[in-house]
Amino acid sequence: MAKSKISVTQEFLKGLWNENPILRMVLGTCPTLAVTTSAINGVTMGLAVIFTLVMSSMMISLLRKLIPNEVRIATFIIIIATFVTVADRVLAAFYPEMSKALGPFVPLIVVNCIVFARQEAFASKNPVGRSVIDALGMSVGFTLVLLIMGSFRELIGNGTIFSHQIMPLSFQPWMAIALQPGAFLTLGFIIGFTNWLNTKRK
């Protein structure tokens, strides 16, 4: 493993831009599209993913020498599902309205490709510290995109960000952006824009 070549900071930062799960690898698009109707929904979902990904990366990294290779996928799924259940129950108990707004998408973190991909590609091969940093970087990168998309769609579709009025009251909200078509369009344009930025930088 040539992993020791890159520093801990770079390990964290790669999740934010170079290997950003949504923008660069187009993973985990379902929750990205579904929950970003408002900024607060996006951030809550992001926090749930941060919790799940960091905890399961830590657990799997600790157990990586004990898990037989043949049953690793089933083991990963059970570990991930356990932490997802914890996040889901906590949300339902303390923030019932938020839990309703996110619908089935918190339980669906189980099959979120981002979480699974990090276990398979990173946590099962690297020591605990690095795995946690990697998980943090990836999930924070994910949350940032959710925050940007949620803020944008809330701003255009409702004139607010985090329920604070930003646009002048005369602004006519563009409902379609807050509804389903807007989700696809916004993400399409954001990914296109980052591709364009990347080709520019080279």
Partner 1 sequence: MDLILIFISAAVINNYVLVSFLGICPFIGVSKKLGSAVSMGMATTFVMTITAAVTWLLNKYILVGLHLEFLQIVSFILVIASLVQLVEMFIKKVSRPLYDALGIFLPLITTNCAILGLALFLVMKQYNFVESIVFGFASGAGFTLALVIMAGIREELELADVPEPFKGAPITLIVAGCLALAFMGFSGLI
**Helices 128-158 and 180-201 meet at what angle, rounded to 10?**
120
Nearest CA-CA partner of 68 in 80, 76, 56, 57: 76
**Helices 39-63 and 128-158 meet at what angle, rounded to 10?**
170
46 binds partner 1 (CB under 8 A): no
30 binds partner 1 (CB under 8 A): yes
Give the footprint of partner 1 on residues 68-107 (CB under 8 A).
Answer: 74, 77-78, 81-82, 84-85, 88-89, 104, 107
By CB under 8 A, name the one of 101, 111, 128, 167 that touches partner 1.
111
33 binds partner 1 (CB under 8 A): yes
Query: What angle is formed at CA 124 by the lines to CA 19 and CA 67, rounded to 5 degrees?
Result: 160
112 binds partner 1 (CB under 8 A): yes
Between residues 80 and 132, which has the closer beta carbon with respect to partner 1? 80
Q: In whole angstroms, how close is the CB of 45 to partner 1 at the nearest point?
A: 12
- Spatial neighbors of 176 by CB under 8 A, at least 6 apart, are 157, 182
- Please answer whether residues 60 and 119 qualify as being in contact, where contact means their C-beta atoms are separated by less than 8 angstroms: yes
121 binds partner 1 (CB under 8 A): no
CA-CA distance, 56 to 36, in Å (whole number)?
24
Q: Which two tokens stand for residue 14?
A: 């790669």
By CB under 8 A, name the one of 13, 101, 113, 136 that touches partner 1.
113
Q: Which two tokens stand for residue 127?
A: 């020591």
CA-CA distance, 101 to 33, in Å (whole number)?
14
Q: Which residue has the tokens 């510290």?
A: 129
By CB under 8 A, name the one of 58, 108, 136, 167 that touches partner 1.
108
Here's the x/- map for partner 1, 131-170, by CB under 8 A: it reads as ----------------------------------------
Q: Which two tokens stand for residue 64?
A: 């990586």
Q: In whole angstroms, how close is the CB of 144 to partner 1 at the nearest point?
A: 18
Site residues, partner 1 (CB under 8 A): 26-27, 29-31, 33-34, 74, 77-78, 81-82, 84-85, 88-89, 104, 107-108, 110-113, 116, 176, 179-185, 187-189, 191-193, 195-196, 199
